[in-house]
């Protein structure tokens, strides 16, 4: 049950902040996944994840947010 509450909370926070986060040209993806032992949000960036840390907090309402460098995906 607690996992379900965490998932719903993460979905809500993602929905609230997604448009703002995507305005940063470096952000290429936003997803919900395990961050440590909690359900959290992973923001994928092209490079330099530390540059966004002052703009995006480490957690919102107890939901952890991980900013991670990823390779950009292209559809075939």
Domain boundaries, the chain: 2-69
Give the tokens for residue 53. Answer: 């840390």
SS3 assignment, position 32: strand
What's the whole-model pTM score? 0.87
| pLDDT digit string, tens, across residues 24-66 | 989 999 999 999 999 999 999 999 889 898 899 999 999 999 9
Cα 25 to the center of its chain, rounded Å: 15
Q: In this structure, which topology does domain 2-69 adopt according to CATH? A: GMP Synthetase; Chain A, domain 3 (3.30.300)
The pLDDT, as a whole number, for residue 34 is 94
Q: Would you say 60 and 17 are in contact if contact means Cβ atoms under 8 Å apart?
A: yes
Q: How buried is residue 32: exposed, middle or buried, by Cβ count under 10 Å (0-12/13-18/19+)?
A: middle
- For strand 59-60 and strand 38-45, is the pairing parallel, antiparallel, or unpaired? unpaired
């Amino acid at each position: 049950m607690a996992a379900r509450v965490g998932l719903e909370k993460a979905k809500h926070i993602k929905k609230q902040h997604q448009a703002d986060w995507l305005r940063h040209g470096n952000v290429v993806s936003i997803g919900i996944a395990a961050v440590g032992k909690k359900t959290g949000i992973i923001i994928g960036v092209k490079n330099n994840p530390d540059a966004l840390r002052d703009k995006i907090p480490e957690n919102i309402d107890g939901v952890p947010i991980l900013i991670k460098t990823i390779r950009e995906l292209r559809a075939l």
